[in-house]
Amino acid sequence: MTDQQARNDVASLKKSLTESDDRTLRLGDKLEKLKDSAQEFSIRVARVEERTSMLLWAFGIGIAVLLAFGTQLYLMNGRVFALDENVKQVAAGVSAIRLTQLSAEPTKAENISQTQKVLQQAIAGKIKIDQEVVRNTGINFMQASYTADGKTNPAVWPAVQQYLNYKAFLNRDVEASLGNLEVTTKGYSKYRETVTIIPVEKPPHHPFGVFYAGGHVDPAHAARLEPLDSPQTEPNDIKYYIIQIMSRDIVVLDNMWMKNVIIRDGTVQYGGGRIVLDSVYFVNCKFNLFQLTPRSKDLGEAILASTPTTFNANVNAKLLGKSN
């Protein structure tokens, strides 16, 4: 090998070493950059974790606050309901005292007006006055509707009607105690129920419906719903009839035999005619067309006295026995 070749080989080797050093430096730079990127990524991940942790913490706090608020709201609703019930009980007691005071002078115009107001407010506020107080004070007004010499005192009658309205409001709870009132189908009986209605609304409209309820029973305990002057000989097997009024049309009681009948949401008219009621429930009814007659007074007293109402006005009981 000549000296020139040796120098060339040395120069080539130096160049290779230099290039290798450059590549090493570049690789080192890349590694440093990669380390920097990894460190930056770690920092970002840490920040994300921190933010996520903060978000989860805030979310957890929010859930806790909502649960606490919901619990407090639930407890508050319970307290509000209890408070409302307490207020109603107090109002019922005050109303009972007020009715007792007003009924002491049932013919006094101011007392008649105030009595109607007390009862109307009780219905609107769903206030349940002691039923014995309602019965006793209401009967005072009913008895005052006739003078000692047998003359009518029409001024008192609006208070009587309002008492009957209130009694029908209270009867909603009594109906609920009857148990099974699910609508049933008609059984084997050929009995045909009849309801007397005075239409008020113009057709077409659906004034009322008669529903069969309570299942089937033997004829002796079955419901009856028919005119007294047209008694049916067919036995019945339905336990209850429910007359559901769906309009402003009027249910007439005169000349009716009703047994195990529930009248709901209707305006009731009675003019003092023949009537037989056997376990009849007036639920949420209006008695604004309940006319002042001796029989109306007696029937009104029977309605206030007990639920259901049983009342017999000048009807041959033997005839009814044959129709059963």
What pLDDT, in 10s, does the model give residues 112-169?
Answer: 999 999 999 999 999 999 999 999 999 999 999 988 788 899 999 999 999 999 999 9
What's the mean per-residue pLDDT of the chain? 81
- 210 has a pLDDT exceeding 80: yes
- 321 has a pLDDT exceeding 50: no
Q: Decide which of 68 and 293 is more confident.
A: 293
Q: Out of 33-37, 286-290, 295-299, pick the least confident.
A: 33-37
Q: Decide which of 149 and 3 is more confident.
A: 149
The SS3 of residue 242 is strand
Q: Where are the domains of the chain?
A: 197-323
Closest to 282 measured CA to CA, from 297, 264, 298, 258:
264
Q: pLDDT tens digits, residue range 239-275?
A: 999 999 988 889 999 999 999 999 999 999 999 999 9
Closest to 300 measured CA to CA, from 133, 106, 160:
160
Q: pLDDT tens digits, residue range 35-81?
A: 565 466 555 545 545 554 555 444 544 555 555 566 665 555 555 55
pLDDT at residue 145, as a whole number: 94
pLDDT at residue 80, as a whole number: 53
Give whole-number Cα distances, 66 to 69, 73, 244, 300, in Å: 5, 10, 45, 55
